[in-house]
Amino acid sequence: MDSIYLLALGALLLGIQVYRRAFPRPYPGIPHHKTSARRIWGDVPEMLKTIRITEDPSKFTFDQCKKLNSPVVQLFFGPFAKPAIFIEDVREVKDILSTRTREFDRSYKAQDTLRPMLGHSSLVKVTGPAFKSQRRLWEGLMSINFMRRVAAPEMYRVTLELIELLRARAAIADGRPIYFFEDLDLAAFDAIWKIVFGVDLNGVSQERQGIARITSSIKQPLSKDSVAEMPILPKPEMYETICFVIKGIEKTFTTYFQRLNHWLIRLGPEYRRKWGSKKRTVDAIINETRLRLVKLSGDELEATEETSGVVMGVRRQLLAQRGDLGSIPVPSQEDIHDELMMLLMSGHETKAGALSWAIKYLTACPEKQDRLRETLWKAFPERSNGDQPSVEDILTKSIPYLDACMEETLRFSTIASRLARTVTTDTTVLGFQIPKGASVTLSPYVGGKPMDIPEEVRSRTSQQAKNNFQSHWDPEGMDNWEPERWLADDGAFDPRKFPRLAFSAGPREFRINLTMIVLNFKLEPPPGELASMAAHQRILKVPRYCHVRLVAL
């Protein structure tokens, strides 16, 4: 009997200990909400309230810096979890991202989530020799030469097809608002697929041709304020597959048990079917490319032009096997496969998101839209004769107001609203002690009124970079979309007016797409809620309502 009581007592004591361990354990010295520290679920209840309204977790997390009057705060996101540290200070965030990368590595938690899908890509590798070697292998993919020779012409070709698709939708809508995000997303995927794999997907052209075949059977709402009905057509299999995977990642990132959630998704028959099809398709392209290149002589292989990501990867694999790439190890089939998939998935998501926000802002600000269009008509007078500007002219002509609209869109939209890092060593940020292993999230938003922070608590490199830009805040406020803030007194675009922390959206494709859309369409606002600037958190932040009335020009 005594043994039963002892077991019961032991179980009770263990339960009490486990219960206590479930509560938040704040890092010393970092501001936090005292009430949250006394709850097992910490800050989760308040955050969920905000997400239900805004669908944007960053709206809650970084607002806590203001509430706690500190550029560095810690929040608690559930039982047994370590505190999450958030930093909102333009100068210090820029310093961390540019000069303190050894102390702040890419997020291990995010890498763990993505590893089952992209386990051999550089995205999920810890910074070290293997990561650096893999990045060196692919560095030419981001070079100016590759962009101008391969990427830009393909982006331009797909953009022309996108313009024709949008013209077809505008004709069907007849003044009604249309939903445009999927078209931008498909166009971005079309372009990136060809750039990465060297194979035409033709998703945009097939969509336009399909619409033309069945337009007459579509009945439109009587009201011009109702969203236009559009034919629902099958999309390319690979596009559907990647969209399915991205939705799975979205769900995973918004759940508490991320590894478990993603494991359950991968068990599903639809995931296994789509992922298997993806693997077979991509491996076939890699193998076909290798069979073609392996037949070349050494001199021919050396002289082979890299016309796509897959040609670059396989060519350099063969060169590495010959020892012609120095210390770079020979990449495996899996290394090439996963790196190409990483480029595909990340590339099309960023481009569609940034362009969607630009359309929203220009639609809401007709006077700025008119100014941009007038500027573009002056830069490309051939448009008045019905001709489109060439890709070379779009990329090389100096158009300050276009640059300002692009930069302001990236600043104001902050499509990557949270930049996650893992602390690799005990360190200090703005006087606060940050322990090794802590998860840190940085705010890339440039616009909040800065807190008064003594210069001496900043890092040495942050102090040295103080004058790298003219100001880190506009006294007139930065909570609005104002491209003019990036223009100097003489009208030139000045990239040093304010810090630039925006997640890159591919400036060349962004420039091509935005130029062509504004030259070919007048963007008129949709009614009511459809004009809202509310955001939806996918992997990146996109507009919740992607609707516009298109008037073809």
State pTM to two decimals: 0.90
**Residue 39 CB neighbours (<10 A):** 15
Calpha distance 409→428 (Å, rounded):
32
Q: Which CATH class is domain 141-415+502-552?
A: mainly alpha
Q: What stretch(es) of the chain map to CATH 3.30.43.20?
A: 24-118+416-486
Calpha distance 91→98 (Å, rounded):
11
Instruction: Give CA separation, 302 vs 141, 314, 323, in Å.
Output: 17, 12, 12
The string over 509-527, giving b where at least 16 C-beta atoms fall within 10 Å of a residue's C-beta and e elsewhere, is: bbbbbbbbbbbbbbbebbe
| Residue 545, pLDDT score | 94
DSSP assignment of 401-469: HHHHHHHHHHHHH-SS--EEEEE-S-EEETTEEE-TT-EEEE-----SPPP---GGGS-HHHHHTTTSS
3-class state of residue 536 by DSSP: strand
Calpha distance 262→404 (Å, rounded):
40
The string over 201-233, giving b where at least 16 C-beta atoms fall within 10 Å of a residue's C-beta and e elsewhere, is: bebbbbbbeebeeeeeeeebeeeeeebbebeee
State the residue for tokens 């909570």: 479
Calpha distance 104→383 (Å, rounded):
48
513 DSSP β-pair partners:
none
103-158 confidence digits (pLDDT tens)? 998 887 777 777 777 888 888 877 778 888 888 888 888 788 898 899 999 999 99
DSSP assignment of 245-279: HHHHHHHHHTSSSHHHHHHHHHHSHHHHHHHHHHH
Q: What stretch(es) of the chain map to CATH 1.10.630.10?
A: 141-415+502-552
Strands 535-537 vs 84-87: parallel, antiparallel or unpaired: unpaired
Residue 65 in tokens: 């810096």
Instruction: Give CA separation, 242 vs 189, 354, 405, in Å.
Output: 9, 19, 30
- Total residue length of the chain: 553
Calpha distance 484→488 (Å, rounded):
9
Listed in sequence order, the DSSP H helices in 68-107 are 90-99
| Residue 505, pLDDT score | 46
The parts of the chain modelled with pLDDT lower than 70 are 1-2, 54-57, 253-258, 502-506
Calpha distance 142→129 (Å, rounded):
20
Calpha distance 348→236 (Å, rounded):
15
Smallest Cα–Cα separation from 71: which of 52, 46, 54, 92? Answer: 92
The gap from C-alpha 234 to its chain's centroid, in whole angstroms, comes to 25
State the residue for tokens 């694999």: 317
| Cβ contact 75:61 at 8 Å | yes
| Cβ contact 96:421 at 8 Å | yes
Calpha distance 434→438 (Å, rounded):
7
- The architecture in CATH of the region 24-118+416-486 reads 2-Layer Sandwich (3.30)
| Cβ contact 293:301 at 8 Å | yes
215 CB contacts (<8 Å, ≥6 apart)? Answer: 168, 171, 172, 231
